[in-house]
Structure 1
Amino acid sequence: MTAKSAGKSPAKVDVAVVGAGPSGMACAILFARQGFSTALIAPSGPSEDGRTTALLDSSVEMLKNLGLWDAIRPHAAPLSHMRIIDATERLIRAPEIVFDASELKLEAFGYNVENKDLNAILAKACKGEKDLQRFNALADTLTIGAQSVSISLDNGVIVEAALTIGADGRRSKVRDAAGIEVSEWRYPQSALVLNLEHHVPHYNHSTEFHTRSDPFTLVPLPGRRSSLVCVVDPDTAETLKRLPDEELALEIERRAQSAYGAMKVAGSRQCYPLGGLSAKTVARNRCALVGEAAHVFPPIGAQGLNLGLRDVAALGEIVANARQQGIDIGSGEVLSRYERARRPDILSRTTGVDLLNRSLLTDLLPVQLARSAGLYLAGKVGPLRRLLMREGIAPMFSRPRLMKGFSLPRAS
């Protein structure tokens, strides 16, 4: 459903989601499926996005429960094996280690899909939701009242919601309006992201080379294709980005130790400076944050969007329970429940990724030794390896019910 022209009385909804990236669209679909009148607010933008997303098993379970996975699966490649190779060339190096999803009785740890396909499928699903209105406009100003949040759009429309969800990225207007402070930091790194065709099949292996500048990761796509995330210093990233296709393909093949044979650059290249962000709280003043509005960190271990989808699933569960109990869904009590539910997961993932990233950048021998010993034990000790694999998919202690096969209740 699309909003009408400006000049009418405010559109009143239960939930307003600001931001239409994958987390925002999934969030809007989830709340609409639970019978909440929902607004999705974001300007129309280009649908093409050359990046990819590795959807881990818990996120796949959530998408299955939302009835979306059957449409996504044909565009995705399974990540059945995850290989880590120490290519730091330092004095102390970790042994090569391979994690196999079959040890957890899974077909795959997750599935890698191009963002343009994922976004198109989610956008189509949004159009089919009877309880979801799409406002193709920018949220201009937000005014927080005692009973609702009033959102003025740049086309003159006003939306009022009992609960407003910020899925609007690291420069979130919802977060600013709610008065939520953040901690931000930068790394001396940039990520070059592109897709490749290659001669040797990937056999559903995701291969991560740990280098002195951080991971160089090849993740399967359907066919003999893979997506690349190459983390290097900013000058090197720009130099690589400007290389002709043939020269860049040869350089990537060299860095990949020819494990995938001859390569060919397929599509556009994108380059991003790396940094981190953590919101002091994920909920305040009738506003809740999901995805990069709440947390940002480097592209290591496929944690970014998967953490955001856990935000969405947890928030949906908490708000649905509050409705059943007759509690105001935007109240401080509900927002406190969400903060308590998400803080351990967000803190552990943000800290873990930051420590791993910094351990690759440092030349301190004790840090190199600790990292190498940890990987060695993970490779040799079965129970430890399986624990790391399970927790890498999603922490068991805070996995929302929607990611365990349970459905959330609709309004009666």
Structure 2
Amino acid sequence: MPDKAAGATSIKVDIAVAGAGPSGMACAILLARHGFSTALIAPLAPVDDGRTTALLDSSVEMLKSLGLWDAILPHAAALAHMRIIDATGRLIRAPEVVFDASELQLEAFGYNIENRHLNAVLAGACMAEENLQRIDARVVDVAAHEATAAISLDNGAMVEARLVVGADGRRSKVREAAGIAVSEWRYPQSALVLNLEHLAPHYNHSSEFHTRTGPFTLVPLPGRRSSLVCVVEPETAETLSLMSDEELALELERRAHSILGVMKVIGKRQCYPLGGLTAKTVAANRTALIGEAAHVFPPIGAQGLNMGLRDVAALGEIVVSAQASGQDIGGPGVLTAYERARRPDIVSRTTGVDLLNRSLLSDLLPVQLMRSVGLYLAGRIGPLRRVLMREGIAPMMARPKLMRGLSLR
């Protein structure tokens, strides 16, 4: 719906969501649909984004529960098979491992979609939601009081809410105002991200080459197209990013061992240094953090947005339950419950992704041996492989109701 804050000096809502990325928009839609007056606060920006997101099955289940999946599916490609190929060239190498969604009685592990399509569907749903106000502004400060939080905006307006949701990214102003500290680290790597057309069909295979500098991952898009995440040393990433489209396409085909044939670079390239971040807590002072305000991952294992959507589903479940039982939705009880619900998932995923990434960079033979043995066992032992596949989609012990096809009411 149109910006209702124009000319206003004070707005009162149940919940204010700061940040209009996919996690923020999904959170605002979910809360508004469950009866909370909701404000979505972020500068209006183009939804065009050439990057892609692999939405895993649990995230798809949540989007179905919001009635959004039918609009998203036509723009997405199924991830029916995932293969890991050891291209390190080291003395100890793992055999190729293929994970098949049919082993879990699934059509696909998930679906890959360009962010511009996902953003457009979510933005359209926000505009159509009667219980949701879209405010074109930035958060300047948040002051928590006994019963509400006061949010100061850069357009001079003030928003008063019982709960503030920080979905405003790794440099979150909301997190800073809540006094939540972070742990942050860097890797000696950069990621080159772009989309490709290719001669050979991908057959809905996602292919991840493990190299000495990090993963080289090709993920299907509709048609004969794939998205690429190429993790290399910063100097190499800069060299690749400066190549002509034709030179880069040839180099990427070489690195992909021509499994998709002749390649063509399409759209924009992006190159950025890799690092990670975790907030010391995801909830404090009438504030709950979701998405990259709470945790940042390198682009490995499709954890980023899927983790953010698990934040959204868990927070929604806790807040709806609190409202039904007459609790303060921004009070200590709710915030403690949210922290308790999300901490194990965040810690385990952060640790797992970090160990996998560092194992590729290590030249130590014991580390190479452990990684190779682990992949070998995953490829040969069916029950172990299926457990890994299920946990890769989402942890069973931390899967919120919306990601299990259950209602919040």
Note whether the superposition's TM-score is higher than 0.5. yes
Q: Quick one: distance in 2 between partners of 1:3 and 1:221?
A: 34
Q: Quick one: distance in 2 between partners of 1:6 and 1:102?
A: 51
* Alignment-derived partner of residue 389 in structure 2: 389
Once the two structures are TM-superposed, the CA of residue 380 in structure 1 deviates from its matched residue by 0.2
Q: Could you report, residue by residue, the CA deviation over 1:80-125 in whole angstroms, capped at 9, with x for unpaired residues? A: 0000000000000000000000000000000000001100110000
* Alignment-derived partner of residue 119 in structure 1: 119
In the alignment, is residue 263 of structure 1 matched against residue 255 of structure 2?
no
Q: Write the letter of the residue equivalent to 1:199.
A: L
Q: Could you report, residue by residue, the CA deviation over 1:341-398 in whole angstroms, capped at 9, with x for unpaired residues? A: 0000000000000000000001000000000000000000000000000000000001
Residues 6 and 155 in structure 1, CA contact (< 8 A), matched pair in contact too: no
Residues 190 and 231 in structure 1, CA contact (< 8 A), matched pair in contact too: yes
Q: Tell me the SS of whatever aligns to 2:59.
A: helix
Residues 6 and 156 in structure 1, CA contact (< 8 A), matched pair in contact too: no
Residues 19 and 167 in structure 1, CA contact (< 8 A), matched pair in contact too: yes
Normalised to the residue count of structure 2, the TM-score between the two structures is: 0.99
Q: Quick one: distance in 1 between partners of 2:230 and 2:4?
A: 44
Q: Quick one: distance in 1 between partners of 2:4 and 2:229?
A: 42
Q: Quick one: distance in 1 between partners of 2:225 and 2:308?
A: 26
Q: Quick one: distance in 1 between partners of 2:192 and 2:235?
A: 11
* Alignment-derived partner of residue 129 in structure 2: 129
Q: Write the letter of the residue equivalent to 1:360.
A: L
* Alignment-derived partner of residue 407 in structure 1: 407
In the alignment, is residue 48 of structure 1 matched against residue 75 of structure 2?
no
Residues 7 and 156 in structure 1, CA contact (< 8 A), matched pair in contact too: no
In the alignment, is residue 18 of structure 1 matched against residue 18 of structure 2?
yes
Residues 75 and 222 in structure 1, CA contact (< 8 A), matched pair in contact too: yes
Q: Quick one: distance in 2 between partners of 1:165 and 1:321?
A: 17
Normalised to the residue count of structure 1, the TM-score between the two structures is: 0.98
Q: Quick one: distance in 1 between partners of 2:191 and 2:9?
A: 46
Distance verdict in 2 for CA 1:75–1:6, change over 3 Å:
closer
* Alignment-derived partner of residue 27 in structure 2: 27
- 1:308-319 matched pairs, under 5 angstroms: 308-319=308-319
Identical-pair percentage = 76
Once the two structures are TM-superposed, the CA of residue 210 in structure 1 deviates from its matched residue by 0.2
Q: Could you report, residue by residue, the CA deviation over 1:175-207 in whole angstroms, capped at 9, with x for unpaired residues? A: 111111100000010100000000000000000
Distance verdict in 2 for CA 1:364–1:158, change over 3 Å:
same
Q: Write the letter of the residue equivalent to 1:294.
A: A
Q: Write the letter of the residue equivalent to 1:203.
A: Y
Q: Write the letter of the residue equivalent to 1:397.
A: M
Residues 60 and 110 in structure 2, CA contact (< 8 A), matched pair in contact too: yes
Q: Write the letter of the residue equivalent to 1:235.
A: E
Q: Quick one: distance in 2 between partners of 1:366 and 1:203?
A: 36
Q: Which stretch of the first structure deviates more once superposed, 139-148 or 35-44?
A: 139-148
Kindly report the root-mean-square deviation, in angstroms, between the aligned alpha carbons of the 2 structures: 0.8
Gaps spanning 5+ residues in structure 2: where?
Answer: none
In the alignment, is residue 287 of structure 1 matched against residue 287 of structure 2?
yes
Q: Quick one: distance in 2 between partners of 1:223 and 1:8?
A: 47
Q: Tell me the SS of whatever aligns to 1:278.
A: strand
Q: Write the letter of the residue equivalent to 2:28.
A: A
Q: Quick one: distance in 2 between partners of 1:296 and 1:110?
A: 21
- 1:11-410 matched pairs, under 5 angstroms: 11-409=11-409
Q: Quick one: distance in 1 between partners of 2:44 and 2:9?
A: 23
Aligned residue pair count = 409
Q: Tell me the SS of whatever aligns to 1:210.
A: strand
Once the two structures are TM-superposed, the CA of residue 408 in structure 1 deviates from its matched residue by 1.7
Once the two structures are TM-superposed, the CA of residue 142 in structure 1 deviates from its matched residue by 1.3
Gaps spanning 5+ residues in structure 1: where?
Answer: none
Once the two structures are TM-superposed, the CA of residue 6 in structure 1 deviates from its matched residue by 5.2
Q: Quick one: distance in 1 between partners of 2:324 and 2:287?
A: 20
